[in-house]
Structure formats: structure tokens, C-alpha cells
Amino acid sequence: MNIKKTSLNNLHIKYGAKLVEFAGYQMPIQYKDGIIQEHKYTRSHSGIFDVSHMGQLFISGGDDLTNNLEKIFPADLKKLKTNQSKYSFLMNNKGGIQDDLIITKTSDGFLIILNAACKYNDYEVIKSKLDNQYKLNLDESLSLIALQGPEAKNVLNKVIPGCNSLKFMNGNNYVYNNKKIYITRSGYTGEDGFEISIKHSDAETFVESLIENGSKLIGLGARDTLRMEAGLCLYGNDLDNDTSPIEANLKWAIPKSRIETEFVGSEVLKNQFQSGVKKLRVGIKPDSKVIARGNTKIYNDKNQEIGKVTSGTFGPSVEHPIAMGYVDNSYSTVNTKIFLEVRGKKIPANICNLPFYKKNYVKGEINV
């Protein structure tokens, strides 16, 4: 298979990236500073992430688009104002998650940001559920760059004046190099930040100007530790076709106004809302320094298997191992003692609240 390169590939090499294949793209796992320094720089200053491998699907045209998309996605799209974004899901008929995504209302339709590994399948699924009157464009002429961290607003505002007035989960059009770019205030790190959709040909100079203003390129390795500390799910690890948004503890993303309405998977979700779920995603904090990674088995104090870790690492900002996973619902209460099987040994751990790292408080409260 041909491995694709993003428009920032030369820049990655210039800044000493270690490149790996991810979802069919050659992507930077880390740069010279390494994952821990990159993670901390994002939390203290700002970091630039090449997320151009993700899908940018524009849907427009036709009548009744909002109604028809509400039959696919469980978001309250009718209430969405132009340039406002919502986190939502593409589900299957069993209520399982095919992808988690961000939907933004644009002036002539909707923009949906899709996970790289899911985007082509998502496109086919969405296309098959809409009739031909709509125009679907999985636009591969655009790069996507995330700028995250407490300094992000200052750095970006120097390059794109005025963008720091954007509100969280809102976007707008701006101009860079005489061309239209689209910026949303959003991210995947637990920090304030932006995602910038920009023509491939402008991406490199744009990123260089962010670097000149004090930001640094950050690899996928730190992106993963940042999102885990923030308690955010990674599709394929923490979310999959056999897991519903309710089981994933993402009930907040299903608005009450939609529960009684019809969309793909609505029957199952309605049922789960009423009768509860068997498994639930939880935060897990090991007592010791041992790291429990994805697929680690979880046991109760009677040595019965009660679940599985789906993501786990060492949290550089909380300075402790962190994990999330699914347990039998009766063990999902915070402070429940559980055991993680790592290299044949049962490691004591506790169910804990997510996120591990909270930014909203003054200087970033540490929640481990």
C-alpha cells in the first residue's frame, strides 16, 4: 500500500520527527524533545499538531438537509447556529459507535471532522443514507492543523488577528495569504486551542509562522498522553462498533431532545437510557507506578474478571500511570478497588473520576 504524506511532511523531517505509519499516513510520533517534553510544552505554552490525516467532510445542497442528517446523527442539529460545533457519533443499528466526530454548521451545510482510519468508510455510510440531492465532499485538498495550549490564543492571534474572540466549539472564516481558511476553537488535549483548516500549499508557511511566534511541533505520542489525561476517547481503543455512547460514558453528547426521536441506533440507546448498561467506561488509577496498557484484564477482589483496560499510559503532567477501560457496571463507582493483570501479577488500582487533568481551575488542578 502506498503510504500518504501530509503537506507538512518536509517540516516534520526538518524538525527531527520520528515518523511512523498511522492510518495509511506517514505521521510524526515525536520530535527531538521527546513525548514528555512535548506534552509539558503543550500544557505550559502551546503545541502544533498535524492532524491532516483526519477527514474533512463537507455536506451541502438539497432541501431538508438538517432533518436528514438528524436521522443519522444523534445531535441536535436544528438548534445548531451557523459556525457552532457539536461532538457526536456515527452509529450502527446496534447503537455501536462507527466513529466519533465533530459536526459544525457552515453557511451552506455542515462540516464533519472524521477520524483518519474511519473517514472513507464514514463517507460511504453517510452517502448511502442520504439521497443524491446532497453534495458530499471529503475534501483532500485541505490540511488540518491543531494549535493547543494556554498560549495558543496569543500565538494564533499574531498570525490571524481577531481569532482569539472565537468561543469554545465555535468557528469562523478568516483569511491567510489572501485565501480563506476556517478556524474552530476546539481540540483534543484538555487545553484551550484551535483547529485550522487550510489549503495544503499554505500549510507549511502557516506552521512556520506559528513556530516563529513561540509554538512547537508536537507528535502523535504526546497527543495520546494529552488526550488520556483529559479523559478523552480514542476511536479504535476506547470506542468501537460494539460499544454505545452510553456505555462509553458519553451520555452528555446525546441531547435530551433527541432521545425520543429516530436516528441510526436510537432504539438501542433509548433502551439503554431506560434500563441502564452492563458495562461502563471508567477512569482507572493504579496504586503503584506500574502501567496498565490497552487489553489489560481487570479483576475484582474475588479474582473474577470484570473488564478490560482500553487505554493506559504514564501521564506526564499528573506524574502517575493513568488508564481508562470498561468494567461491569456494578464496579463503576469511584474508589472501587480493582486489580489489573500486568505481566502475570495483579496490580491494585482504583476506579477514579475523569479527567485525570483538569485545566479549568486556576493553574491546572491535578486530579490524580
Partner 1 sequence: MSEVKYSKEHEWIKLDGEEATIGITKHATEMLGDIVFVELPEKGSHVDKDGTAGVVESTKAASDVYTPVSGEVIDTNQMIVDDPSKINEDPEESAWFFKLKIKDKNEMDSLMNKEEYEKFSKETSA
Nearer of residues 36 and 259 to partner 1, judged by Cβ:
36
The C-alpha cell of 228 is what? Answer: 488520556
The C-alpha cell of 257 is what? Answer: 431532545
Among 80, 290, 366, 368, binds partner 1 (CB under 8 A): 290
C-alpha 273/C-alpha 74 separation (Å) is 14
Length of the chain: 368
Interface with partner 1 includes 311 (CB under 8 A)?
no
Nearer of residues 96 and 316 to partner 1, judged by Cβ:
316
Among 55, 187, 221, 325, binds partner 1 (CB under 8 A): 221
Interface with partner 1 includes 135 (CB under 8 A)?
no
- Of 242, 277, 272, nearest to 93 by C-alpha is 242
Nearer of residues 240 and 319 to partner 1, judged by Cβ:
319
- Of 23, 175, 190, 167, nearest to 104 by C-alpha is 167
Q: Sign (positive/negative) of CA torsion 10, 12, 13, 19?
A: negative
Among 5, 19, 24, 36, binds partner 1 (CB under 8 A): 36
Q: Which stretch binds partner 1 (CB under 8 A): 57-65, 83-91, 313-321, 354-362?
A: 313-321
CB of residue 293 to partner 1, shortest distance in Å: 7
The C-alpha cell of 68 is what? Answer: 436528514
Q: CA–CA distance from 306 to each of 135, 231, 243, 250, 283 (Å)?
A: 46, 21, 16, 21, 14
CB of residue 39 to partner 1, shortest distance in Å: 8
Nearer of residues 77 and 292 to partner 1, judged by Cβ:
292
Interface with partner 1 includes 109 (CB under 8 A)?
no
Query: What character string, x for contact with partner 1 (CB under 8 A) and - otherwise, covers 314-343?
Result: x-x----x---------------------x
CB of residue 221 to partner 1, shortest distance in Å: 6
Q: Which residues pair with 347 in a beta bridge?
A: 340
C-alpha 259/C-alpha 263 separation (Å) is 9
Q: Which stretch binds partner 1 (CB under 8 A): 74-82, 117-125, 193-201, 310-318?
A: 310-318
CA 155, distance to chain mean position in Å, is 22
Enumerate residues 6+ apart whose C-beta is below 8 A from 88: 73, 74, 75, 100, 101, 102, 103, 253
Interface with partner 1 includes 291 (CB under 8 A)?
yes
Rg (CA), the chain: 21
Q: Which stretch binds partner 1 (CB under 8 A): 7-15, 62-70, 158-166, 311-319?
A: 311-319
Interface with partner 1 includes 313 (CB under 8 A)?
yes
**φ, ψ for residue 231 (rounded to 5)?**
75, 20
Torsion on CA atoms 361, 235, 266, 78, rounded to nearest 10: 60
Q: Quick check: 179 and 8 in contact, CB under 8 A?
A: no
Nearer of residues 37 and 170 to partner 1, judged by Cβ:
37
Interface with partner 1 includes 130 (CB under 8 A)?
no
Nearer of residues 1 and 344 to partner 1, judged by Cβ:
344
CB of residue 323 to partner 1, shortest distance in Å: 13
Q: Which residues bind partner 1 (CB under 8 A)?
A: 29-30, 34-37, 39, 221, 225, 289-291, 293, 313-314, 316, 321, 343
